[in-house]
A and B are shown apart, each in its own frame.
Chain A
């Protein structure tokens, strides 16, 4: 498809396990963003990639969270030793450039539930 693709769409796992979330941005989009949305809340910025580099990791909640992007395309967000407070919808977005009036196009998200 032409949109941002995220997988899995749903993930249920036990506390303490590691999880890996995937984002496939729109082809040609150089900027990629990860957000977290807790139930009934707004979006919390996690990390931003320009190409393969992440100039802004300030939103990552703890050192259990990490993200990488390879080939200027697919990105993975990894959460190690998951905790119940990690339960949320994780949204990925991409845009053509990091400046200007380019909107961010969002994927459908991964709903993560930690038991």
Chain B
């Protein structure tokens, strides 16, 4: 089974609209973390936001927020008031501790294109 599933290979969104990027995960570890990264066409991986499995509140960082639904094992990224510079690949990732070793598993990504 896929550890991290991103079901939207590509999305087109009008500038200034909000966008939700889906991410579901699968783990039996009670302690885990979820990360979102942005990868523009230039290639660098930019950390956006983190959600811990024990965090009571949804994480927020500026225009980014994470809709964390633990029972559904989903951690969707919400970008409010999208901008042209938001066009990029977005990766969801999960950190687990397996046999004492940290593992970060990435999804296949969603390519977001913001339309002017």
Contacts and interface: CB of A to CB of B under 8 A. Distances in A.
A33 B104 contact: yes
Contacts of B93: 43
What is the predominant secondary structure among interface residues of chain B facing chain A?
A: strand
Contacts of A93: 45
B29 interface: no
A99 interface: yes
A105 B104 contact: no
A45 B43 contact: no
A91 B45 contact: yes
Interface string A75-101: 000000000000001010100001111
Across the A-B interface, give the 3 residue pairs with the lowest CB-CB distance, nearest first.
Answer: A106-B45, A103-B47, A56-B101
A104 B47 contact: yes
Interface string B44-87: 11110010100000000000000000000000000000000000
Contacts, number: 51
Contacts of A91: 45
Interface bracket on B: 20 to 34
A101 B108 contact: no
Nearest to A107: B44
A99 B100 CA distance: 10
A99 B97 contact: yes
What is the predominant secondary structure among interface residues of chain A facing chain B?
A: strand
Interface string B88-116: 00010100010011111111110000000
Contacts of A42: 91, 106-109
A53 B92 CA distance: 27
A104 to B, nearest CB: 6
B108 A45 contact: no
Contacts of A25: none
A51 to B, nearest CB: 13
A101 B52 contact: yes
Contact of B101 (A48, A103, A108): A48
Contacts of A106: 37, 44-46
Contacts of B44: 106, 108-109
A56 B103 contact: yes
